[in-house]
Amino acid sequence: MADFNKILDAGDVDGGIINVVIEIPAGSNHKIEWNRKLAVMQLDRVEPVAFAKPTNYGFIPQTLDEDGDELDALIITDTPLPTGIFMEGKIIGVMKFVDDGEVDDKIVVVPADDRNNGNAYKTLSDLPQQLIKQIEFHFNHYKDLKKPGTTQVTKWGDVEEAKEVIRESQARWKAL
* Residue 113 annotated as binding site: no
* Residue 104 annotated as binding site: yes
Task: Give the pLDDT score at 144.
Answer: 86
Average pLDDT, the chain: 96
Task: Give the pLDDT score at 1.
Answer: 82
Task: Give the pLDDT score at 151.
Answer: 94
* Residue 31 annotated as binding site: yes
pLDDT (average), residues 8-36? 98
* E strands present in 10-164: 11-12, 17-24, 30-35, 40-46, 56-59, 72-75, 86-99, 102-103, 106-111, 151-157
CATH number at residue 30: 3.90.80.10
DSSP-derived 3-state class of residue 135: helix
* Residue 72 annotated as binding site: yes
Instruction: For 53-108, write each residue's pLDDT tens digit.
Output: 999 999 999 999 999 999 999 999 999 999 999 999 999 999 999 999 999 999 99
Handedness of CA 49, 55, 60, 65 (dihedral sign): negative
Task: Give the pLDDT score at 79.
Answer: 97
pTM for this predicted structure: 0.97
Judge whether residue 118 has pLDDT over 80. Answer: no
For residues 46 and 28, give the distance between their C-alpha atoms in angstroms, rounded to a whole number: 9
Task: Give the pLDDT score at 57.
Answer: 99
74: which DSSP letter? E
Judge whether residue 27 has pLDDT over 90. Answer: yes
* Residue 67 annotated as binding site: yes
Side-chain half-sphere of 73: how many Cα atoms within 13 Å? 33
Instruction: For 137-155, write each residue's pLDDT tens digit.
Output: 999 999 888 777 899 999 9
Q: Determine the structural domain holding residue 64 and report its residue range.
A: 4-174
CA distance between the termini of the chain: 23
Percent of the chain beyond pLDDT 90? 91
Task: Please tell me the total count of domains within the chain.
Answer: 1
